[in-house]
């Protein structure tokens, strides 16, 4: 970029303070213990994750792991806030 940015002293308008949602450096450095498993997934799921991983220059297994961890985190919070464990409904 060769164009120089020109800053002006104009009112910003309505502003809002956003709470800090970023993890701390200690949380970023922490690595959870992994457990290797064998899991059969559908071909379309694997193709999707491999394609997306290539676009974002990462590993598809890492994407799947983060997806599952996010799911667990969301549902673990729900269980803690309810204070009860939900039973699985048997078909």
For the chain, the C-alpha Rg in angstroms (whole number) is 21
**Nearest-CA neighbor of 68 among 43, 32, 44?**
32
The helix/strand/coil state of 46 is: helix
Q: Residue 12 — very low, low, confident or very high, per pLDDT cuts 50/70/90?
A: confident
User: pLDDT tens-digit profile of 33-89?
Assistant: 889 999 999 999 999 999 999 999 999 999 999 999 989 988 987 666 665 555 555
CA distance 11 to 26: 37
Confidence of residue 29 (pLDDT cuts 50, 70, 90): confident
pLDDT on residue 27: 75
Q: Residue 65 in 3-state DSSP?
A: helix
* Residue entry with tokens 């990462």: 58
């Amino acid at each position: 970029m060769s164009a120089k940015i020109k800053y002006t002293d104009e009112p910003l308008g309505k502003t809002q303070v956003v709470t800090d949602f970023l993890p701390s450096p200690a949380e970023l450095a922490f690595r959870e213990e992994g457990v290797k498993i064998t899991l059969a997934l559908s071909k379309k799921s694997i193709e999707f994750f491999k394609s997306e991983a290539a676009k974002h220059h990462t590993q598809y297994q890492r994407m799947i792991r983060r997806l599952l961890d996010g799911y667990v985190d969301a549902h673990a919070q729900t269980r803690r806030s309810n204070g009860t464990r939900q039973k699985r409904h048997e078909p």
